[in-house]
Amino acid sequence: MGIAEGFIDRLTQFLGPKGILTGPGDLEPYTVDWRKLFPGRAACVVRPASTKQVAEVVQICRENAVPIVPQGGNTSLAGGAVPDASGTQIVLSLARMAAIRSVDAIGLTMEVEAGCVLTNAQNAAAVEGRLLPVSLASEGSATIGGIVAANAGGVNVLRYGMTRNLVLGLEIVLPDGTIVNGLRHLRKNNAGYDWRQIFVGSEGTLGIVTAAVLRLLPRPKHSVVALLSVADPKSSLELLALAQEELGDQISAFELVSAASLNLVSKHSGLKVPVAAGEWFVLMEAASSLSGLKDGAEAMLGIAFEREIVLDGVIAESAGQASELWALREHVTECEAREGKSLKHDISVPLSAIPDFLRATGQALAAGFPEARVNAFGHLGDGNIHYNVLVDEGLSSEAITRIVHDTVASFGGSITAEHGIGQYRVRELARYSSPSEMALLSRLKHVLDPQGLLNPGKVLLR
């Protein structure tokens, strides 16, 4: 079924020329995902400037049975924010709704519209001496609405939790055009069901996030960044346990990076690893407002060397050196793309199972696909490993992914830790979830969106 005659004219009349895009060249950036795996077509892109306009667009689409794909910065790694190839869906971009409505330095909250770029929100908090701790590689283009809809993770989850831990209030437009205003700046609110959490991580399939109230934290005055080499993943867990014993919740990031990953970074970016080569590396950051952090970190590392947990390492002596160490980790994905085709697996398993998972998966892949190369890295502190496999043309992507995901399932893990389901993992979610779980998700979707017009084909099979 195509778009009804007069539908786009009605949207244009309502939104004005700045509020709608129809030209092929204008549409293209909104219809291809970041990884260029899911090219689509859109009837048009609408760009409302207010929550009221979002609600009116949704009502118009509902009357004409036109599906809507909500979109923030279009940085999804799972194809969750682009239309299908039919040309019968519209993209609803929140880019014009980018205001930072308030920052409360005493109450430690900020109210932000959905189209605000994450970096801008971080900077607004920093001006007030506060910290918005969500930190992602795509933070220069990812938007607040997108990170809420995806329940984004990042490098600071170990200390601060996922995005859902930071959401105090939401403003939502439901699939029937109803505006639900729950923008409360409250730490304690036990009035009824906590409906906010239904929409956090729903990937735009249940409602459209138009604004959010986010929890802020005091900005740490001191930080320590260290790059350390370890013999194996088991040693990295021993180091994590030691760091937690000695530094407690001052640890904000604890990244595990394989030597294969850093070799790709050196090859394609020219960045050098200032630590003697090992099979695995840990990039650790601790932060505190109290003095003595560096002394404590050095004492902890002294113990690690004495116990032979750490083989070699370096502590950044300046903010510039800290940035250089983080650059090694931040360039892994980009340099992997330069190396060639890869299959991305964003998985999590219980922390204690990570060494056995890596061993079992590596052995299974080596037996079935000896030419495939593993590029493993990720957020060890919260059990999230990006287990990517570099492949040549002709290798079975489905069979390789089945090996990885079957092994994840055998360890009681998840096939997506932070990137979401989108289109990329929609069949895998059905495969690895119980029938009762899938029935509950389907029931929830049907109750809120009975016409199935919000982001169809994402999260759930049609």
Query: What span, in angstroms and rounded, lies between the C-alpha atoms of 326 and 166?
Result: 24
Query: What span, in angstroms and rounded, lies between the C-alpha atoms of 177 and 22?
Result: 23
Cα angle 144-148-154, degrees, rounded to a multiple of 5: 85
User: To which residue do tokens 């931040």 refer?
Assistant: 330
Asked if the domains at 222-333 and 340-419 fall in one CATH topology, the answer is: yes
Residue 39 in tokens: 């090219």
Query: What span, in angstroms and rounded, lies between the C-alpha atoms of 414 and 431?
Result: 12
Torsion-angle region of 169 (φ positive above 0: left; ψ -120 to 50: alpha; else: beta): beta
Q: Per-residue DSSP letters for 167-190?
A: EEEEEEE-TTS-EEEE----S---
State the pairing for strand pair 90-93/44-46.
Answer: parallel
Domain 100-218 has CATH 3.30.465.10: yes
**Cβ contacts of residue 121 below 8 Å, gap of 6+?**
100, 110, 112, 132, 144, 214
Query: What span, in angstroms and rounded, lies between the C-alpha atoms of 152 and 33?
Result: 17
Residue 200 in tokens: 């956090």
* Helix, strand, or coil (residue 418): coil
Measured CA distances, 414 to 70, 263, 360, 410 (Å) = 25, 28, 16, 10
Query: What span, in angstroms and rounded, lies between the C-alpha atoms of 253 and 246?
Result: 15
Query: What span, in angstroms and rounded, lies between the C-alpha atoms of 412 and 315?
Result: 35
DSSP 219: P
Which helix or strand (DSSP H or E) is residue 303 part of? helix 293-306
| Per-residue pLDDT, 1 | 55
| Per-residue pLDDT, 126 | 97
Domain map (residue ranges) of the chain: 7-93, 100-218, 222-333, 340-419
Reported CATH class of domain 340-419: alpha beta
Q: How many CA atoms lie within 13 A of 98 on its CB side?
A: 15
| Per-residue pLDDT, 4 | 73
**Four-residue CA torsion sign, 9, 13, 15, 18:** positive
DSSP 291: T
pTM (2 d.p.): 0.94
Could you report the average pLDDT of every consecutive run of 10 residues in the chain (462 residues)?
A: 82 94 95 92 97 98 97 95 96 98 98 98 98 93 97 94 97 98 96 96 98 97 97 97 96 97 96 91 96 96 97 96 96 94 96 97 96 95 96 88 98 97 95 97 97 97 78
Residue 192 in tokens: 């009824």
Domain 222-333 has CATH 3.40.50.150: no
Query: What span, in angstroms and rounded, lies between the C-alpha atoms of 38 and 77?
Result: 10
Which CATH architecture is the domain 7-93 placed in? Answer: 2-Layer Sandwich (3.30)
